[in-house]
Structure 1
Amino acid sequence: MQTYIVIGTYQFIGFYVTQYFLNQGEEVIGIDWADKDDSPYIMEEKELEIGRSANYIYFPVNKLKLLDIARQDTVFISCYDIYHGKYGNTELLLSEIGSFIEKCKKKGLSETPNIVLFMPVAEESLFQSIISAIEGIDSAKIIYLPTVYGPWQSEAMSFEVGINQQGSSVIEAAIAKEYTGDALFVSDFVSALEGVLASSDRSIQLSSNIADHWNKCAAHVFDEEIASSFAPTPEINKGSLVEVQCNTDPQEGVALQRKHNKRLSLLKKWRKAE
């Protein structure tokens, strides 16, 4: 039986990937760098969903190098969450991940586990050390993601700051960091994951089957003045395009994210009142 290792298990993409494989009855080792003291109620909510599974084990990222995993295991590294998150020491985090990959390679390239990078379409230069580390590993794969949205989206991303009614300068800064050429609702991405993993292609870019997906979401998030003030990101092609069948339309997806945020806001107020 193989094990899935998810680096970024309490982030956005990593959380959904962890939850998906646990729901399939698979064993998951979760690795994360989150500061539990920073948002304890959020961590507790996520732990309630995944932490109670008998198939789940958690390690902090500074223990990553102690893991000894087998060739048939799969390691997911969510560069997407590192890029869109707020972790303050990215250099140290990437060093820990790089050391882990090098440890895996010491058994020989044919004995390394499957390694899958979730990479933001708009930015990969930050992760060049990780991309270089997986070169020569036949089982390694990079999956490029457009903007992914839905409940638990990183608080630094544009739909999240828009829904939380942050100021226009904060929204504009978030949009500038984001790929606005396409979008996927997070559950649609996860539903397509196993099919993508079965592909022989080493570099894959996921795309939505809904035209102008990001713009249609933006129309439900931002007021008209903001929505019309930015230019779309030029189309970027990073690998073999795989179109994802979207079962959640933009209006519904944004509504689900709003509903989730409202619940978290109430939870935060209740915790402060205790």
Structure 2
Amino acid sequence: MDKVVIVGVFDFVNFHLCKALLNKGIEVRGVQIETEENEDILVEKRLEIGRNSNFTEVSVKDLTNKSNEKETIVLSVYDLYMKYKENVLQNDFMKNHFLYEDNWDQIIIIVPIQLLGNEIESEANVFINDVINRKRNLNKNIQYLYLPTIYGPWQPDTFMFQHSILAGMDKGKGFRGMREETNDALFVDDTVESIIEVVEEKGPGKYLLQSGEKDQWDLCAAFLRIIGHPSSERTVDRMEDDIIKLTVNRSIPISEALTKQIDHTHRLYS
């Protein structure tokens, strides 16, 4: 994996993945597909990675006009879904160029665990199922990485954790409702390291990243003093037979990881 294209590069998980790849000396071309509501936050993210010589921000047109035979391409359906932006998946670029052309060397799709059972009706599920059906007989190198709740710096306020932090600063907005899965939770830095490991070392297939421990979401909520939270959109109670479960190594305690998120939020919004 020498060259990577990230679609939605300034979205939550994608942004951390981009930084991790750049730290490993991997060349990244990033395209933003207009999902960031706050222009100031977008500026901060551009400043954080824009000085790295291995990063280039490109337009959608640049991607559709270039041969991509030796590039890995990444799309985080997870980020779009958690920000209520999955309608982006139905635009002309996604339908006609991003995945339906066969000139990418490797395709990585990051998916919320809620979509595993195909029980949620959403444009995200329509898109994933369409990709699976179109690529089934092409023997393409496609990896689907399913994630539970991911937390850490830059988490959007559509997650309960970030909403709670902002509310404590009197910066919060109305909560749109519980969309995240509450059976498990992973720190974003650990998650992107595992994603890179899967991409580099594993073959095509479906992978579920998990903590391997009980009540991780509840432990995070307890640290943030979240009491009486609403139910999640769906509790995952069964997995498809072809899912490969992988345990993510935890680098720091929950308390330290969430403190990083709290401190970052205070610096950003104060």
- After TM superposition, the score normalised by the length of structure 2 is 0.83
In the alignment, structure 1 residue 191 sits paired with structure 2 residue 189: no
Deviation at 1:245, TM superposition (A): 1.2
- After TM superposition, the score normalised by the length of structure 1 is 0.82
- Asked whether the equivalents of residues 209 and 246 of structure 1 are also in contact (C-alpha less than 8 Å), the reply is no
Counterparts of 2:88 and 2:159, CA distance in 1: 17
Deviation at 1:14, TM superposition (A): 0.7
SS in 2 for 1:165: helix
Q: What residue number does 1:44 align with?
A: 43
Q: What residue number does 1:209 align with?
A: 212
Q: What residue number does 1:156 align with?
A: 158
- Deviation >6 Å, runs of 4+: 166-169
Counterparts of 2:182 and 2:90, CA distance in 1: 29
Q: Which runs of no fewer than 5 residues in structure 1 stay unpaired? A: 267-274
Letter in structure 1 aligned against 2:223: H
In the alignment, structure 1 residue 69 sits paired with structure 2 residue 71: no
Q: What residue number does 1:100 align with?
A: 97
Deviation at 1:60, TM superposition (A): 3.3
SS in 2 for 1:164: helix
Count of residues paired in the alignment: 254
Deviation at 1:100, TM superposition (A): 1.9
Distance 1:68 1:151, change over 3 A: same
CA RMSD of aligned residues (A): 2.7
Counterparts of 2:237 and 2:26, CA distance in 1: 36
Letter in structure 2 aligned against 1:12: F
Q: Which runs of no fewer than 5 residues in structure 2 stay unpaired? A: 116-123
Q: What residue number does 1:182 align with?
A: 184
State percent identity of aligned pairs.
26
More helix by share: 1
Distance 1:169 1:233, change over 3 A: farther
Q: What residue number does 1:132 align with?
A: 133
- Asked whether the equivalents of residues 107 and 141 of structure 2 are also in contact (C-alpha less than 8 Å), the reply is yes
Counterparts of 2:173 and 2:15, CA distance in 1: 29
SS in 2 for 1:118: strand
SS in 2 for 1:193: helix
SS in 2 for 1:144: strand
- Asked whether the equivalents of residues 113 and 236 of structure 2 are also in contact (C-alpha less than 8 Å), the reply is no
Letter in structure 1 aligned against 2:155: Q
Letter in structure 2 aligned against 1:48: L
- Asked whether the equivalents of residues 205 and 242 of structure 1 are also in contact (C-alpha less than 8 Å), the reply is yes
Q: What residue number does 1:269 align with?
A: none
Letter in structure 2 aligned against 1:67: K
In the alignment, structure 1 residue 9 sits paired with structure 2 residue 9: yes
Letter in structure 2 aligned against 1:76: V
Counterparts of 1:222 and 1:67, CA distance in 2: 49
Deviation at 1:214, TM superposition (A): 0.9
Residue correspondence of structure 1 range 17-96 to structure 2 within 5 A = 17-34=17-34, 38-61=37-60, 63-70=62-69, 72-87=70-85, 89-93=87-91, 95-96=92-93
Counterparts of 1:196 and 1:219, CA distance in 2: 31
Once structures 1 and 2 are overlaid, which stretch shifts more, 233-242 or 185-194? 233-242
Letter in structure 1 aligned against 2:4: Y
